[in-house]
Amino acid sequence: METPLNKDYNATNLTQNIEIELLIEAIYKRYGYDFRNYNKAHLKRRILFRTAALGLNSISELQHKVLHENDFFDLILKDFSINVTEMFRDPGFYATLRREVLPMLRTYPYVKIWLAGCSTGEEVYSFAIMIKEEGLYERTQIYATDFNPISLETARKGIYPISRIKDYTANYQMSEGKQSFSDYYVAHYESVIFNQDLRKNVVFAEHNLVTDSVFAEVHMVICRNVLIYFNKDLQNKVVRLFSESLVKGGFLGLGSKENLMFTDVVEQFTVVDGKEKIYKKKII
C-alpha cells in the first residue's frame, strides 16, 4: 500500500524527471550540446547538486538561468563534463601498453593516437611521457579532444596543483616509468608546469563524441571511463566511431569498468588484455 510519504516522493521524483528532460532538450536546442543519451542517473545527480548549491527551488529555475545566461551555461557544461582523471590512472593499464602495445606500434614509420575525452589533460601528458620514454615521441602525433573548451584550455596549459604530484609520482612509478617523474615538470609556488616539449606533437581540439563524426584515421584510440556515462545506444554509436577511426590492426583502450562485450563491434576486435580492457582491431 502506498503511504502518503511514498506518494509525495514519487510525485517529486516524477516532476524532477520531467524537468530534467525539458532542461536537456533546452540545452540541445539553445547551445547544440546533446546530453539526451547520457546516463540519466548521472545527469540527475549533477543537476540536483547544482540546483541545491545555488539555492534554487526547482530545476525549472535552473533551466531559466541556462537559457538566459550564457556564462551560467559554462558552469553547467563543467558540471556535465567527465573530469575524474589523474596522471597514469590505473598504472597497470600503462604498464601493459608499454609491454604489449607500444612494441607493435614501433613497427609503423609514423603513429597517430587519439585520446578521446581527454578532459583537463592529465592523460595527455601521461601518454606523452610514456611514448617519449619508449622512443616513439618524435614520430607520433597525439590528438587530444574533448567537448568542453574550458577543460581543453587547462589541458593546453599543462598546469596542475602541486598537491597531486605525490599521487601522480606513485602512479608513474607503478606504470613502469623509466626516469624520475620530476624530470618532466617545474614546480612554481602551489602548482607544477609540465615541460613544453611534451606538447610539441599534441593537437588539442574540440570534438563531441555524441554529435561529431570520425576525427582522424589513427593507430590507437584511448577513451577511458567515458562510456559508463552513456546509455547503451550511445555507447554503441561511440564505439562504432572508434572502430571506423582505427586502421586495421589498430588498438582501442577503454576504462576498467567498460568493455566491448555487448556492443555492435565486438566481432571486429580481439582481446589484447581483458583485465586492462585493451583491444585490437582485426586485420581481416
Q: What is the pLDDT of residue 2?
A: 55
Cα separation, 274 vs 120, in Å, equals: 27
Q: 191-194 and 218-223: which strand pairing?
A: unpaired
Which of these three, 80, 106, 129, is where a domain ends?
80
Does residue 25 lie within any of the structural domains? Answer: yes
Indicate if 116 and 72 belong to the same structural domain. Answer: no
Q: What is the pLDDT of residue 145?
A: 96
Average pLDDT over residues 29-33: 88
Check if the beta carbon of residue 90 is closer than 8 Å to that of residue 133: no
Does residue 85 lie within any of the structural domains? Answer: no
Q: What is the pLDDT of residue 156?
A: 96
Q: What is the CATH number of the domain that holds 266?
A: 3.40.50.150
Q: What percent of the chain has pLDDT over 70?
A: 95
Going by pLDDT thresholds of 50, 70 and 90, the confidence category of residue 163 is very high
Residue 164 DSSP one-character state: G
Indicate if 98 and 23 belong to the same structural domain. Answer: no
Average pLDDT over residues 219-238: 92
Q: What is the pLDDT of residue 262?
A: 82
User: What residue numbers bound the domain in which 13 lies?
Assistant: 4-80
| Cβ contacts of 178-187, under 8 Å, gap ≥ 24 | 178/133, 179/133, 184/125, 184/129, 187/162
Check if the beta carbon of residue 235 is closer than 8 Å to that of residue 210: no
Indicate if 251 and 120 belong to the same structural domain. Answer: yes
Nearest C-alpha neighbor of 243 from the set 255, 229, 232, 254: 254
Does residue 86 lie within any of the structural domains? Answer: no
Check if the beta carbon of residue 41 is closer than 8 Å to that of residue 49: no
Which of these three, 80, 99, 125, is where a domain ends?
80
Indicate if 71 and 110 belong to the same structural domain. Answer: no
Indicate if 65 and 100 belong to the same structural domain. Answer: no
Indicate if 58 and 188 belong to the same structural domain. Answer: no
pLDDT surpasses 90 at 8 = no
Strand partners, 252: 221, 279
Does residue 175 lie within any of the structural domains? Answer: yes
Nearest C-alpha neighbor of 142 from the set 208, 218, 214: 218
Cα separation, 43 vs 81, in Å, equals: 10
Indicate if 116 and 40 belong to the same structural domain. Answer: no
Indicate if 99 and 128 belong to the same structural domain. Answer: yes
Q: What percent of the chain has pLDDT over 90?
A: 66
Query: Domain total for the chain?
Result: 2
Indicate if 32 and 141 belong to the same structural domain. Answer: no
Q: What is the pLDDT of residue 11?
A: 66
pLDDT surpasses 70 at 1 = no
